[in-house]
Every structure is written in structure tokens, then in C-alpha cells.
């Protein structure tokens, strides 16, 4: 099997450093603290009995949002480490303890969640609490396709499987369990008002799309439906597929924003960030391969698959597509402002794309809501 990412024993000097001394030097230079300190982590893993020998690491997910690492030691000893990113935790991100509880619920329902192997609450090891989980086999279909799935039939199959498994997640978790997982996601008005409040704090440049779309969302709330478990960022980049036919999802990760919410929220995020040729590219496109390769289902075909699988009415889906992009645009503009103010950002290369990327995201949001007056170009300074 081709590994998801390349593993290395060499620290990158930014997110991963060799020692506590290196981390202290970064702090003295007012650099963002690292996410992993190899020397202290390896000593801790030795003490806890997680393999022997050199520690290899690789980062999973996008640099802008992921605190998940693939770790390996002996040939047959590999696992995943998950921690929160540095800085204030967004209000919609659950505690690490709640995430561990959710993963256990998912695993009990056979929903592609890994076994939790160990929990460390000692922040002195790598700078924050973390947990270790079993490493799930599979590959992300983001920039390339596993060789045995690189045909039209299996591209269609991967598209369908992503939506079918979303429907399964929404059905398998009982209403009682869903109620216990509500971290504020079921109150749509509160979610909109919170993002409007954050948007009003943005001072670097004036993007009318924030106000126009925010008002549209407030004036057009969808009908209330019973809540289901919502992943929060359900997308192709958070899915693992076994590299063989027929397409099978082996893992779903990135559950830190999960909550109880309207069934259309995850479908809205998936279809709004789905890479397809009917909309311009943005920094939120989750899997360029679905745009670049023929054979994957279109946005509308994905919606039809969901409608058939769940019997849900999707007439109000544009509201959720608009909301997901608009809310993400607010977060991305915050990152861009930090970059312009010479503050630490998760990934400088990603943040540089946001000058034009944020207006493009807002324009795509306006496409779904059919709202006028939102430009896809950055204002001149």
C-alpha cells in the first residue's frame, strides 16, 4: 500500500522540533510554538511502551487546520497522535475529552472511528494534551487516485460512497446520543450571529460579501428539522479509502467540530467545498482531483444520491451551502489579517493565498444563495 504521507525522522523546525531547547528558542524569537517535540515525545512513548527505536512523523490533513500526526517506530508499530492547534480554541471546537468520547460512540456503532490507545493530559510533553489512536489503513483521495480505483466506475463509486456513508452516520447515531453531542450547532440563528460578530471585527479590508451574505442568512432561515450528528467539515479530504475495488471508506477523521445539527449542514459543507468545474477554484476546495479527473459525480448528482439515501427534502440546501462558505470565509479572513499584521499563522503559504481566496469563497457562497453584489476579486488597497 502506498502510504498516505511521507514519514521522516527529521524535524521541519516549524511544527516539529527536535528538543525542548529548540522550542524555547522559538519562543524567544516570538515564533509560533511547535506542535511536536520529538525528543520528549519519543522518551514518553518509550516509557508508555509504544514501540522502540527512531520516531518517524508525518502530518495528516491540511497545515492550516490539522493537529493530527502519523507516527511510526518499529516496522509494525504505527499510530496517530491528535492534539489541538496552538492559540485560542474556536468556539465550535469541542474539548479533546469530548472528542475522545465521540470517537468511542462512533466506534461502538462501527462508523470508521479508530480505537483510542492512550490519553496524555501532561502538557509538558509536546506543549498540549494529546491522544494516541490506532492507525487506520487507507488513502485520502485529494490530489491523486489509488491505482486500483483509477477508473470511471470506481470514481463514481467513491463519490457515492462518501454520500452514502454520510447518510449512514446520520441514521446510526440514536437521537439520545445526538442530544448529548450538541455543542451549540442546533441553534442556526446563534451560529449566524456569532460569525457576524466575528466579521465585524475584521478591519484590514472591506469585503461587502460578509455583510450582504450575513443579512441574507438571517432573513431566510430554513425550516427546523430534528438534529443529527454533524461532522462539521465532512469532505473528501477527511475520508480514507481502501486502495482497492470496490470503493470502501476505512476512516473518517477531523471530528473536532462535530455537534448536533440540521441534517443538511454536512451535505451543505460537502457539496459547497466539493471541487468541480461548475465553480471557480478557492482555498476551500477539498479535493482537486474530483475537478481534474473525469468520472466523479457532479454536485447535483451528489445531492440526488443523498436525497435517495435519506428521503430528506433538500430544497433548503442552498442556505446551508451559503452559510458554510460564508462562515469559513470569516475564519480565513482572520488568518489573512494575522498574516498582514505579521502575527503567527498556521501556514504562511496558505495564508498568502487568502488575499484573492477569501473574495472567491464569498463569491461562490453568493452563487448558491443567488445574492447580488458580492465580488470575486480583492479590493485595491
Quick one: 182 exposed, middle or buried, by C-beta within 10 A (0-12, 13-18, 19+)? middle
Q: What is the CATH number of domain 16-134?
A: 3.30.200.20
pLDDT in tens, 242-266: 999 999 999 998 899 999 999 999 9
Task: Say how far apart CA 304 and CA 102 lie, in whole Å.
Answer: 29
- For the cut 70, the answer to whether the pLDDT of residue 143 exceeds it is yes
Q: Is the model's pTM score more than 0.85?
A: yes
Confidence of residue 1 (pLDDT cuts 50, 70, 90): very low
* 369 vs 1 pLDDT, higher one: 369
- Pairing status of strand 36-37 against strand 16-17: parallel
Burial of 238 (0-12, 13-18, 19+ CB in 10 A): buried
* Average predicted confidence (pLDDT) for the chain: 91
285's enclosing H/E stretch is none
Mean pLDDT of 365-369: 96
Predicted confidence at residue 177, as pLDDT, reads 87
DSSP, res 256? G
- Write out the three cell numbers for 61: 490533513
Q: Where are the domains of the chain?
A: 16-134, 147-369
Q: Which CATH architecture has domain 147-369?
A: Alpha-Beta Complex (3.90)
pLDDT at 89: 76
Per-residue pLDDT, 88: 73
Amino acid at each position: 500500500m502506498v502510504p498516505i504521507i511521507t514519514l521522516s525522522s527529521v524535524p521541519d523546525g516549524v511544527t516539529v522540533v527536535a528538543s525542548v531547547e529548540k522550542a524555547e528558542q522559538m519562543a524567544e524569537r516570538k515564533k509560533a510554538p511547535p506542535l511536536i517535540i520529538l525528543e520528549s515525545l519519543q522518551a514518553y512513548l518509550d516509557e508508555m511502551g509504544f514501540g522502540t527505536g527512531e520516531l518517524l512523523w508525518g502530518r495528516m490533513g491540511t497545515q492550516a487546520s490539522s493537529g493530527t500526526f502519523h507516527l511510526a517506530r518499529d516496522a509494525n508499530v504505527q499510530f496517530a497522535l491528535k492534539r489541538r492547534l496552538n492559540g485560542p480554541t474556536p468556539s465550535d471546537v469541542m474539548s479533546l475529552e469530548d472528542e475522545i468520547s465521540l470517537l468511542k460512540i462512533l466506534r461502538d456503532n462501527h462508523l470508521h472511528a479508530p480505537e483510542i490507545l492512550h490519553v496524555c493530559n501532561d502538557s509538558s510533553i509536546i506543549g498540549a494534551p494529546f491522544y494516541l489512536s490506532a492507525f487506520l489503513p487507507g488513502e485520502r483521495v485529494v490530489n491523486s487516485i489509488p491505482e486500483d480505483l483509477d477508473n470511471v466506475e470506481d470514481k463514481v463509486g467513491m463519490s457515492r460512497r462518501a454520500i452514502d456513508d454520510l447518510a449512514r452516520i446520520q441514521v446510526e447515531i440514536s437521537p439520545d446520543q445526538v442530544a448529548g453531542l450538541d455543542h451549540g450547532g442546533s441553534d442556526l440563528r446563534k451560529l449566524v450571529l456569532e460569525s457576524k460578530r466575528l466579521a465585524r471585527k475584521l478591519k484590514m479590508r472591506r469585503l461587502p460579501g460578509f455583510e450582504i451574505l450575513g443579512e441574507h442568512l438571517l432573513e431566510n432561515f430554513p425550516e427546523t428539522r430534528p438534529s443529527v450528528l454533524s461532522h462539521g467539515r465532512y469532505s473528501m479530504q477527511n475520508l480514507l479509502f481502501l486502495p482497492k475495488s470496490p470503493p470502501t471508506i476505512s476512516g473518517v477523521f477531523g471530528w473536532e467540530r462535530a455537534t448536533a445539527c440540521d441534517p443538511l449542514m454536512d451535505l451543505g459543507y460537502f457539496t459547497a467545498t466539493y471541487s468541480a468545474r461548475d465553480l471557480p477554484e478557492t482555498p476551500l476546495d477539498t479535493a482537486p482531483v474530483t475537478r481534474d479527473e473525469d468520472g466523479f459525480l457532479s454536485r447535483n448528482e451528489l445531492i440526488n444520491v443523498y436525497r435517495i439515501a435519506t428521503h430528506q427534502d433538500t430544497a433548503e440546501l442552498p442556505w446551508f451551502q451559503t452559510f458554510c462558505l460564508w462562515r469559513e470565509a470569516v475564519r480565513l479572513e482572520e488568518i489573512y489579517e494575522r498574516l498582514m499584521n505579521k502575527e503567527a499563522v498556521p501556514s504562511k503559504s496558505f495564508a498568502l493565498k487568502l488575499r484573492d481566496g477569501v473574495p472567491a469563497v464569498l463569491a461562490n457562497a453568493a452563487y448558491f444563495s443567488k445574492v447580488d453584489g458580492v465580488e470575486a476579486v480583492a479590493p485595491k488597497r
